[in-house]
Structures are given as structure tokens and as C-alpha cells.
Structure 1
Amino acid sequence: MRVIGLTGGVATGKSSVARFFEERGVPVIDADRLAREAVEPGSPCLARLAALFGTGVLHGDGSLDRKRLARMVFADGEKRRQLEAVLHPEIRRLAEERIARAAAAGERIVIYMAPLLIEAGATDRVDEIWVVTVRPGIQVERLMARDGIGRDEAGRIIASQMPLAEKERHGRIVIDNSGTPEETRRLLAALWEQETGGTP
């Protein structure tokens, strides 16, 4: 089974690219979804986070206040490392479980979509990396529109991530999503034909 790691920066359109392949019957394992599953109420992961960062990171119903935790770790490298030390092993376990399940079901291709695939040192989980990228100005505009934030805040968020040019160097395939949705779909259809002959 071929496991394709799909990654890219914030607001580059990874989810819409993944949706294109999902429509063609390819299972997509979403690391962000696994991260949410890892910290469901009652999970050992969530208990460890509350012990580390205080019960202030929990909502009244016991679920994780993701925004508050994100604000707490955003500018603090040590706290971010503590968070990753709790989350990443559990995400790895869940990802490997899903990949094994897809293999057992006889799937020929699986996409593992992970924004931090390279940064989290998770590249050994995949056979190859495809990077979704956009031109820098477009990334800023899309992030502002998506999150309803100003240019300065969008710039700070983008600057806190691995530069897209660096991510691109890791990719066997680089998908430029700077164009219209129709242009991207045409590009993906050609890529899919070239990679698989049109079938998963």
C-alpha cells in the first residue's frame, strides 16, 4: 500500500486538495481530526494536558478549550514542546492504527494529511510527501479571509510556521494551489492520471 503524506502551510488549501482525492475513493486520514480525537473528554491525553497547563484549558463541560491552549503555547517554545510531547505519540498511535486498517481493507493508496508532517518528524509514517503551496501574497489574503483577521496577525501566524519554500523541498510532488478552484481541480486531475492511470 502506498501512503502519501499531504502537507502544506496554513491556508494553502490542503483540505480541498484532500477532498479531490477522497471523491476518487482514496481514504484520507486527517491528523487534525486525530488530534481532536486524542483529547476527547475522559482521554488520558486530556488529563495530562490539564495537569500540565491547568484546568483553565478546559471548558465547563470538560472538553479542551483549544483556542485558550493555542494562545498559551503560541509564543512559548517550551510550552509548545510540552504540548507536542503529550500529543504527538498519541496521534502517531491513532495514525498507525488507521493506516493498518486501510491496508487490511486492501486499499492501494491512502493519504495522510498532516500540516506538521515534517516539523513533527512524522515523515517515516509515509512513503512520499506531496506539498500543497500557494504564492505568499495569496496565502496572506486567504488566511485573512478565512479567519477574519488583519494582515499583521496573518503575517505573524505564517511567520511562526516552517516557510513554504522549505516545505516544498521535501515534496516529491508540489501542488501549486494559487489559482482558482477550477484550475486546481484540472491540475489535480492531470496529476491523478499521471500517478495512477486514473484509478486508486
Structure 2
Amino acid sequence: MLRTVLKVGLTGGIGSGKSEVSRRLSDRGAVVIDADKIAREVVEPGTEGLARVVQVFGDEVLRADGTLDRERLGSIVFSDSERLAALNAIVHPLVGARVAELQERADEDAIVVYDVPLLVENKLAPMYDVVVVVDAADEVRLARLTGARGMPEQDARARIAAQAGREERLAAADVVIRNEGTLEDLDARVDELWTELSARR
């Protein structure tokens, strides 16, 4: 039978509020496939992914309990494009395989939202029927990262700089959700988005 799944690529820079949008879409009935969550799963203790990460980056990226120290690994890769590329070469194929498994399980008329932080950087836009970009000014994102998340400003700036710029991200968008206001404002925008996505099914 012909599958009529609507494939939605959801992305946004770190601190933009993409995860808030993802949660709200899930609440409205979307099947959400979270690439970040899967990326954590594929490097859990005992996985092939973690073994390969340790082989490349050394035992220093492990915590005492044998789990991946994501903060330590992040501090290594986000300021070094070659090291970041090496990490992506390990994790991305494993994530891709898991995503393929999950999308095959979705109902034939589902709205499947792929929560993909690096959609633009990895030039994945053509894979989706609709690309939604959650957008906020860099200063707003920096304030969120250093405030609510407690990230050191230097690390926050490095992570923002390691991702695509706003103009590049917006150029890939079919729909832009501006998220610089309240959560109530965001709810209203997600309601509008859900209505639009439902109409495309």
C-alpha cells in the first residue's frame, strides 16, 4: 500500500527552543523521531558506538561509571572541526539506521517529525516534505544557554559558532517559527503549524 506519511524536518540552532516545539508537536499527535535522543542511545555502555568513540577519542571521554562524558567530549569537538567530523562519522550512520527502523513503524497517514539539530549542516533538507526552522536571535540563544542551562559563555559561543549561521538555516526553511517571546506565544505558533501540516497530509 502507498505510504502517505508527511515527513517534517525540524531544526534550529542550539538554544532556539527546538525541543519545546518538538514536545508540543508530539502532544498534538506527531510521531517525533529525535536525532539527539537516538545519538545518545547509540553511544550507551555496551554499544558499538561507544566502543568506537573511545577508540578514537580515548578513555578520557568516559565517566567513572563507564558512560560517555558528553560535556567532556563536547569541549573537545566543538572547537575543532576535524575532531567534530570524526565524531559525526561514527555517530551519524548509527543514528541513520535507527531512524530508518522507527520511520517504518509509523502509521501510513502519520505526520512524522524528524528533530534534527544539524539538518542544514548535513544538507538533509531534500529528505523532507517540509522543513521547519525554529529561529531566535543569537543574543537570545546565548542568554538561554548561559542562564537556564548554566553553560559557560565561551562554550555557548563555541557551540553556536560550530553550527550553521541563521541566514543559512533560514534559507532552508519552508516554515519559520520565531521563538523570542513567551511559551504562550510559542503554543500559538505551534497550533498554526499543526493546522498547516495537517492540511498537507
| TM-score with structure 2 setting the length | 0.89
Aligned residues: 197
1:89 to 82, 90, 93: 93
In 1, Cα distance between the equivalents of 2:68 and 2:149? Answer: 20
Change (3 A) 1:154 1:77: closer
What is aligned with 2:180?
A: 178
SS in 1 for 2:117: coil
1:140 CA drift (Å)? 2.0
Select 1:59's aligned residue among 60, 63, 73: 63
Equivalent position SS for 2:108: coil
Deviation at 1:159, TM superposition (A): 2.3
Stretch of structure 1 that moved more, 90-99 or 119-128: 119-128
Q: Which moved more, 1:136-145 or 1:30-39?
A: 136-145
Q: After TM superposition, give the deviation of residue 15 of structure 1 in Å.
A: 1.0
Superposed displacement of residue 68, structure 1: 1.2
1:120 and 2:126 are equivalent in the alignment:
no
Q: 1:79 aligns with which of 70, 80, 83?
A: 83
Q: For 2:24 and 2:108, locate their aligned partners in 1 and report how far apart those are by CA, in whole Å.
A: 21
Secondary structure in 1 aligned to 2:131? Answer: strand
Looking at structure 1, the residues matched to 75 and 138 of structure 2 have their Cα atoms a distance apart, in angstroms, of 24
Structure 1: distance between partners of 2:81 and 2:156: 19
| 2:50 matches 1:46 | yes
Amino acid at match of 2:198: T
The alpha carbon displacement at 1:27 in A equals 1.1
Q: Deviations over 1:122-175 (max 9, x none)?
A: 334422210000123322222221222455543333222211221011010011
Which 5+ residue runs of structure 2 have no aligned equivalent?
Answer: none
Matched, 1:7 2:7: no
Classify the secondary structure of the residue corresponding to 1:148. coil
- Percent of residue pairs identical: 38
Residue 141 (structure 1) aligned to one of 138, 143, 158 = 143
Pairwise CA distance, 1:101: 1.2
Provide the aligned C-alpha RMSD in A.
1.9
> Given residue 46 of structure 2, which amino acid in structure 1 is its aligned partner?
G
Q: Are the equivalent residues in 1 in contact too, given 2:31–2:110 (CA < 8 A)? A: no
Alpha-carbon shift at residue 6 of structure 1 (Å):
0.2
Supply the distance in 2 between the matched residues of 1:7 and 1:100 (Cα, whole angstroms). 21
Could you give the per-residue CA deviations for residues 15-67 of structure 1, whole angstroms, max 9, x where no partner exists? 11111111111111110000011101111111111111112211222211111
Structure 1: distance between partners of 2:11 and 2:156:
19
Query: Would you say the 8 A contact 1:88–1:120 is kept in 2?
Result: no
Identify which of 16, 21, 40 aligns with 2:20. 16
Structure 1 gaps of 5+ residues are none
